[in-house]
Amino acid sequence: MSKSNKSQKKIVIPCSGIGKAFGSVSREATYLLTEELNPREYRTMCLPLLVVDDEEAIKMMHSSEIFTIDGCPKQCATVSVRKSGGAIKKAILVAKVLAANKDHKPGTVLDIGEGGRLLAQDIVNKITAEEGD
Amino acid sequence: MSFKPKVGIISCSGEDCTGGNISREATLKALHELRPNETVTICLPLFLAGDEGERSFAKTFPTITVDGCNKLCAAISTARFSSDPSVKINVEDYAECISLNPKEKWRIGESATVVEHIAEEIARQVDRLREEWE
């Protein structure tokens, strides 16, 4: 697999699903990476901007490497990016990451708990390990 | 006894601004604490992903959109993919986004009072919409 183009910004877009704990985990993982662990290389973008065809957001998406994190198999973040013409570097499904780390089960949408925070870290590891960051 | 519908609440949950997190937290508070039996939530991205269940609910029943900024993504998307929301709430009517601490897009701190105000407004509007439903 080729390494990233270091000059390109990396954008992480979670689904932020509001009905399930996995949606909150997708959000937690995004902020863990973009706010705490590596804000210099990674940032996030409002997913709803793609839903309303915001020109600035779409332009930024086209000039960046995109990582999506989806809470459920409907994969709204991934579908939205694709419908807006974005190329996804990696699409992560929270349930699949949990399957490989079964002890890291999240709590609720309101409080993902320690398990949810560990799961968020697993997701971040999955992104950064493959990127070599 | 007359039928009183549940009200759909659609939050923008915008990831890149504190207003988005305020919209999400206020929506969750209304859904889980203030009016748990009178409301349902609808995932905004599901509108674009094409989920017919989400679209048809919002065509039939009253909805409240809660947006974090003046771009009004939740209100616009709901109107585009389903029908006009019954009520449109904009966080910027309660707090200037530029004055909000950007760190709070992850975890709410000093904006907790804004979250409270908006959650209470959502609850008030839920009661009104259910009362006026025919």
Residues A46, B44: C-beta atoms closer than 8 Å:
no
Strand bridging mode A42-44 / A10-14: parallel
The nearest CA of chain A is from the CA of B31 a distance in Å of 10
Residue A111 has a pLDDT of: 95
In-domain check, residue A60: yes
pLDDT in tens, A62-71: 999 999 999 9
In-domain check, residue B23: yes
Q: Which structure tokens are listed for B41?
A: 């939530």
In-domain check, residue B95: yes
In-domain check, residue B2: no
The 3-state DSSP class for residue A125 equals helix
- Assess whether pLDDT exceeds 70 at residue A87: yes
B33 touches chain A (CB under 8 A): no
- Assess whether pLDDT exceeds 70 at residue A4: no
B124 touches chain A (CB under 8 A): no
In-domain check, residue A71: yes
The count of domains in chain A is: 1
* 8 A C-beta contact, residue A41 and residue A8: no
Cβ contacts of B34 on chain A, cutoff 8 Å: none
CATH code of the domain containing A30? 3.40.50
The percentage of chain A sitting over the pLDDT mark of 70, rounded to a whole number, equals 93
Per-residue confidence band for A8, with pLDDT thresholds at 50, 70 and 90: confident
A50 touches chain B (CB under 8 A): yes
Q: Which domain holds residue A88?
A: 10-128
Residues A18, B28: C-beta atoms closer than 8 Å:
yes
In-domain check, residue B44: yes
Per-residue confidence band for A13, with pLDDT thresholds at 50, 70 and 90: very high
3-32 in chain A: CB under 8 A from chain B = 13-19, 23, 27, 30-31
Residues 6+ apart with CB under 8 A from B93: none
In-domain check, residue A111: yes
- Provide φ and ψ at A69, rounded to 5°: -130, 115
- Assess whether pLDDT exceeds 90 at residue A56: yes
Residue A5 has a pLDDT of: 59
Question: If you average pLDDT over residues A77-102, what whole number do you get?
Answer: 94
- Assess whether pLDDT exceeds 70 at residue A7: no
- Assess whether pLDDT exceeds 80 at residue A86: yes
A53 touches chain B (CB under 8 A): no
Spell out, as residue ranges, where chain B has pLDDT lower than 70.
1, 48, 50, 97-98
Question: If you average pLDDT over residues A30-54, what whole number do you get?
Answer: 95
Q: Which domain holds residue B97?
A: 7-127
ipTM surpassing 0.95, yes or no? Answer: no
In-domain check, residue B21: yes
Question: If you average pLDDT over residues A94-103, what whole number do you get?
Answer: 96
Cβ contacts of B50 on chain A, cutoff 8 Å: 79
Closest-approach residue (CA) in chain A for B47: A51
- B32, B49, B77 ranked by CB distance to A52: nearest: B77
- Provide φ and ψ at B95, rounded to 5°: -160, 135
SS3 for chain B, per residue?
CCCCCCEEEEECCCCCCHHHHHHHHHHHHHHHHHCCCCEEECCHHHHHHCCHHHHHHHHHCCEEEEECCCCCHHHHHHHHHCCCCCEEEEHHHCCCHHHCCHHHHCCCCCCHHHHHHHHHHHHHHHHHHHHHCC
Q: Cα(A93)–Cα(A95) distance, rounded to whole angstroms? A: 6
The count of domains in chain B is: 1
Residue A2 has a pLDDT of: 43
- A18, A35, A110 ranked by CB distance to B13: nearest: A18
A79 touches chain B (CB under 8 A): yes
Q: Cα(A25)–Cα(A69) distance, rounded to whole angstroms? A: 9
- Provide φ and ψ at A78, rounded to 5°: -65, -45
Residues B73, A52: C-beta atoms closer than 8 Å:
yes
Q: Which amino acid is at B84?
A: D
In-domain check, residue A3: no
In-domain check, residue B94: yes
In-domain check, residue B67: yes
In-domain check, residue B55: yes
The nearest CA of chain B is from the CA of A23 a distance in Å of 10
In-domain check, residue A103: yes
pLDDT in tens, B75-107: 999 998 888 999 999 999 998 766 789 999 999
